[in-house]
Each structure stands twice: as structure tokens, then as C-alpha cells.
Amino acid sequence: MEYYCKKDEDEVGTLPEKYRSYIDRKTSFILLSVLLTGGIFLYSLSVGNADLTIFEITRTILGMPAELTHSKSIIWNLRIPRAVAAIIAGVALSISGVVLQSILRNPLGSPYTLGISHAAAFGATLSILAGTRNWLPMLDLPYMTTLSAFAFSLISTLTILAIAKYKNATPEVLILVGVALSSLLTAATMLLQFFADDSELPEIVFWTFGNLGRAYWESIYIMGFITLLASAYFFYNRWNYNAIDAGDEVARGLGVNVDRVRLTGMLVASLATAAAVSFLGIIGFVGLVCPHIARRFVGDDQRFLIPSACIVGAVLLLASDVAARLIIAPYVLPVGIITAFMGAPLFLYLLIRGYSH
């Protein structure tokens, strides 16, 4: 099948060099962002009550004897889990957002489009009430709130997937189903809140504020594992998403099984999001804004967009957490509030300024 390749190499013109430098620019953006993430990561370890310098932190991480006896435990048990959780959750939310925007053909797509955050909040609320009121004593396990949030996220996702599969629903319909489910779950959560007492209510409300302080190593391993698998799956499918971006018909003509790619993508994105939300609570805006920030720098080519969105997600969540810990130190704000405060103006700025070429 070499029909189209009869001419000599040099006849084809100077295109490849220009193209390669165009590709190099995108690759450099990704590499620079990785360096930036590393920098913010180290800096974030130095922010906190115990005054640790970046030098001491580096020594501790590298396993050298620490000058302060408690610094090892602070770094390994408090600060690193927090920063690592920020990176993982940032990646999970942002990559899910970028893929959902593509497969649902909607720039407003985000990890929460399919109702995951509302489902998780309902699951957590139910579990908190069940715990304090001893409804189901045999289920009073550690991590029950996380498990319940995760379970309800999955139920909500599977409902949408079932509608998509058996009713052949279009992306528009799926988004509307997500809106309907979100609204239903919000009503159910409010109903539970109405019956909650003075001690339960703050706990419920507090759960919904995304908080990186909830990250422990066990939860990080689970979130990290799911996010890593999801990212690998998404990156493997980058050309499928490029094809779907050109339209369902084009994608089918190129041999893409659009329905299967769409359903699996929704399922994987939901799993990654549900894992992050169940452990950490709801962190808004990252999944919507970070893909768009990445788009402004690298365009819509999923080969570059997927990795870029991951890194932008990690940077934004890390930076938001640093801000959350600095603004009213020594108190720590929930990071979800900061992401919305930082994300929204940044988003508006980028929209007004337009694409960077």
C-alpha cells in the first residue's frame, strides 16, 4: 500500500522542520510545567507552622539525618501526603475534565457533569447520619464515609451509562441526565440535612469542603493507583479523542468505535473523580478550568492536551493549597474554596485574552 509515496524525500518540501519545531514548542511547555510543579511541590513542603527551610526538607527527603527531631515526621506524615494528594487529585480531576469535554462534545464538561460530586455528597451525608444514629451498626467501619461516597458516585455514573447504552442517548441527552440526577441528589441531601442535628450538620457541611488534610498514605496509594491507570488509559486513546473531536461521523469513518470509546471514557473518568472526591471531598472548578488553561497553551491536540491538562491540574491544586494555608495562617482554609477563587478569575482572564500561539 505505498501508492501515495512515489516521489523522492526532498521533493516533499521543508514542512517537517517547521512541524518539528511546532511540536518541540508543545513538548517544552509540558517539560517546563513539570519543573514548575516540582518547584511548587518543594515550596509547599516548607509552608506550615513548623518553620522548615527548603534545605532541611530536601535533606529529610533524601534520608539524611535531620537537624530537628520532629521534622522527619512532619514532612513524611503531614506535608508530603498533603502535597502528593494535591498532585494526584489535580491530575485526576483535570484529566477527567479534558476527556469528558471531548467525548461529551461540550466545553462545559467537567468531572462533575455526570453528577458525581452530588452523588458523593449524598453518600457521605447518609453515612455520617447512619454513623451517629447507629442505623446499621455492622457497617460502622473506618472509611465508611469514603466508601459510601464512592458507592453513590458509582451508582450515579452507572445510571447514566445504562441510559447511554440502552437508549443510545446523544452526548447532549447525557449531560441533561447528569443535570437531572444532580438535582435529585441535591434534594435528597438537603432532606437529610434538614433532619440532621446541631452536631451532625457541621460535619456534613465540612465534608463537602474539599480538604487535602484528609489525605493519608493508604488513601493516597488507592487514589494514585486509580489515577495512574486512568491516565494511561486516556493517553492510549488520545487519537480516538482527536477523531471524536472532528465529529462522530469522521471518527466512525476512521475506524473508531465511538460508542464504546465514549462509554468507557465516561466510566474511567468517573472512577478517577469518584476516588478523589470520596477521600478528599468536593474540589470544584479544577476539572473545568485546568483543561481550558491547557488548551490555551497547547491547542486541542489530545497528544499534548492530555499531559498538559494533568500538569496544569497538579500545579493549580498545589498552588491553591499553599494559598489556603498562607492566607489566614495558622488557620487553613478548605482548598475547594481557594480553587474556585483562583480558578474563576484566571479562567476569565484566559478567555478574554484568547489563545496563545
Give 324-331's long-range contacts (Cβ < 8 A, gap of 24+): 325/47, 325/48, 326/47, 329/49, 330/49
State in angstroms the smallest separation of the CB of 305 from another protein: 9
Binding segment toward another protein, per CB under 8 A, in 75-83, 87-95, 246-254, 340-348: 246-254
Evaluate the omega torsion of the peptide bond into residue 330 and state whether it is cis, within 30 degrees of 0. Answer: yes
Determine if 19 is a binding residue for another protein (CB under 8 A): yes
Q: Please state the closest distance from residue 297 (CB atom) to another protein, in A.
A: 11
Question: Which residues, 276 to 335, sit near another protein by CB under 8 A?
Answer: 295, 299-301, 303
Least Å distance between CB 251 and another protein? 9
Which of 78, 186, 209, 245 touches another protein by CB under 8 A?
Answer: 245
Name the CA dihedral angle for 255, 256, 260, 261, rounded to a multiple of 10 degrees.
160
- Closest by CA to 153, choosing from 73, 291, 273, is 273
Position 62, amino acid = L
- Judged by CB under 8 A, the residue of 173, 188, 192, 252 near another protein is 252
Q: Pick from 10, 13, 142, 168: which binds another protein (CB under 8 A)?
A: 13
Please identify which residue in 63, 142, 249, 331 interacts with another protein, judged by CB under 8 A: 249
355 contacts another protein (rule: CB under 8 A): yes
213 belongs to the binding site for another protein (CB under 8 A): no
| 250 interacts with another protein by CB under 8 A | yes
- Distance (Å) of CA 279 to CA 2, 143, 160, 273, 309: 53, 9, 23, 10, 22
CA dihedral defined by 336, 270, 315, 72, rounded to 10 degrees? 80
Q: Residues near 256 by Cβ (< 8 Å), separated by ≥ 6?
A: 240, 243, 244
Task: Tell whether residue 187 is a contact of another protein (CB under 8 A).
Answer: no
What does the per-residue mask of binding to another protein show for 21-60, with x meaning CB under 8 A?
A: -x--------------------------------------
**Residue 12: other Cβ atoms inside 10 A:** 10
CB distance 274 to 120 below 8 Å: yes
In the complex with another protein, which residue's Cβ is closer, 81 or 307? 307
CA-based R_g, the chain, Å: 22
Which range of residues in 113-121, 138-146, 252-260, 327-335 is near another protein by CB under 8 A?
252-260
Q: How far apart are CA 240 and CA 301, in angstroms?
A: 11
The site for another protein (CB under 8 A) is made up of: 1, 3-5, 7, 9, 11-13, 15-16, 18-19, 22, 236, 239-240, 242-243, 245-247, 249-250, 252-257, 295, 299-301, 303, 355
